[in-house]
Structure 1
Amino acid sequence: MLLLFTLAVVVLLSLATPFTASISVQYPEEAILGSKISITFSLAQHEVNSTAFPFITSGVREVNEEPLILEGFAGSFAVFKINNSSREVAITFEGKNYTRPCWSPGIVVYGGNFNPHVSDLSQGDFTAVLITFDGRLWVHTPSKGWFTLSCPLPSVAPQRDGWMNSTEFNYTAILQEVNGSICVKYVILNGEKYIVKYQTPIHWNFTYLGVRIDPSTITICGFYASNVTILSPHQP
């Protein structure tokens, strides 16, 4: 009876969930009659539609909860962990950005041996692709660290007096797997599509995606990612 009740609750929760999801049930293949068995349930989301980032670098200041406003420092981020992805992923940020041009906030994916519990400047054994809001494409490898690629991208706002202070914008990055590597296929800024088609040297094995904050004040009104799978509750 308890099992049936639990299943009913999980099904009702899944029906009420506003995103595509599936339920995973784990139980022993064999059991002795009369013995207790352990049954676990997990909810697998097949997209991200949330600003409730499970991993935010320790020390980042939460200025406001709704909308989410984060004040970061060098190498700080807010990310989700993904369990797998298709061959094409769309990542969308909606919000505002206030930063100096020398810093690099933007949409980011991390892979390799990335540790979500420390800043990305406090570790080195990971890979990353970073599409900055000021129009640059950065990558990170364990051997070279962070470096920029010769690939101009649109900027969300002009620079004034050494600062970039944007109004609310919508920025989407389309990443595609090409020959095992991450290719930035195109980006969309406020409805305008910009063809990129730049294949990076980073393998298509990223396990975290989100926003790199850096020493900036980022207002996150919405964050979305399609064609990815994340499990609830989140695991490090």
Structure 2
Amino acid sequence: MKNVVKKNTKPEYVSTGSIYYSITVTVKGVDQYFPQLSVEYTIVDLLGNKFEGEMPNIIGKLKSLIVLNLSHNSLAGQIPHSLGNISEIESLDLSWNQLTGEIPQSLADLTFLEFLNLSQNHLLGHIPQGKQFDTFDNYSFRGNPKLCGLPLTKKCGEHPHELQLEGDGDEEESGFTWKVMVMGYGCGVLLGIVLGYIMLSTGRPKWFNAIADVADHMILNRQNKRR
């Protein structure tokens, strides 16, 4: 698998003499049955096991790989940058693991990559842009709360690992505070106008002045006692 198999004009299939191997594997997110497996169609399908630890860098040397499926395991650590060397790969599924760190930019250079699933991990930071990554949708990256950038709806902040939801954050908080202040000011002005009208129309200014005189008298008494 380290050497790219040359395309033969006559198809060859994996066999033991006169018996051909048949296999069902998950390719591009769909279970596919191969009654005869071509020697040119190199597949590593290890989904649904209990593999732990980090992905070995040597996987990046398997340049003839067409399909790599390591989903539904317990793989941890970062995605090896060397995966960008698997130039023939068409389907890459690393979903449902415990992978961390950023998505290597080298994966965007895989020109034959048609299916990518990195969902349900703990990846973070910017999603690489350009080339093949422009063809993938939200399904490829969902379940990674700290990922940001297209095709996700989360925008990336100024810092690499700073996430900002559109319409959330400080703008929402400041907008809410501004609205409360305006509402409070408007209610206060309206209440003042109404009370002023009632006082003027019912002769309450005299009653209000009486209260003010009593308050002034109490203040003067306290000042005299202090002296």
Both structures adopt the same fold (TM-score exceeding 0.5)? no
Report the TM-score when normalising by structure 1.
0.23
Higher percent of residues as strand: 1
Q: By percentage of residues, which structure has more helix?
A: 2
TM-score by length of 2: 0.24
Q: Which has the larger radius of gyration?
A: 2
